[in-house]
């Protein structure tokens, strides 16, 4: 399976790294590395993470890495990383459903 990052997920990830780096550049690097490592493992067991409770769709899954919620879609032979959000921020369903 290949991993495809949506433009929104890339933007959110960059925003999070920039925000954390203002106070602690090393923590920002560690957070980004940790998320990237977890995403790279997804093809081995793409359905191992929970469905998104708000949406209850088999193809939409999520996992938490530190304080970040990584939302992805399983579609054929690809995993689409849809967004990366701080866990305190509410998930906007339109952000996930209209994003591939």
Which domains, ranges and CATH numbers included, belong to the chain? 2-93 (3.30.2310.20)
| pTM of this structure | 0.90
pLDDT at position 7 is 95
Computed over every residue of the chain, the mean pLDDT equals: 91
Question: For the segment 49-78, what is each residue's pLDDT rounded down to a tens digit?
Answer: 999 988 888 899 999 999 999 999 999 999
Low pLDDT (below 70) residues in the chain: 98-100
81: left (phi over 0), alpha (psi -120 to 50) or beta: beta
* DSSP designation for 43: G
pLDDT at position 55 is 85
pLDDT above 70 coverage of the chain, percent: 97
pLDDT at position 90 is 82
Name residues whose C-beta falls within 8 Å of residue 75's C-beta, 6 or more positions apart in sequence: 59, 100
């Amino acid at each position: 399976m290949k991993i495809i990052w949506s433009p929104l997920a890339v933007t959110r990830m960059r925003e999070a790294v920039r925000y954390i780096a203002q106070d602690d550049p090393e923590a920002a690097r560690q957070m980004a590395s940790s998320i990237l490592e977890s995403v790279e493992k997804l093809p081995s067991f793409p359905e191992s993470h929970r469905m998104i409770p708000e949406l209850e769709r088999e193809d939409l899954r999520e996992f938490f890495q530190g304080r970040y919620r990584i939302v992805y879609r399983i579609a054929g032979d690809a995993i689409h990383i849809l967004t990366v959000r701080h866990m305190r921020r509410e998930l906007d369903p339109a952000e996930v459903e209209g994003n591939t």
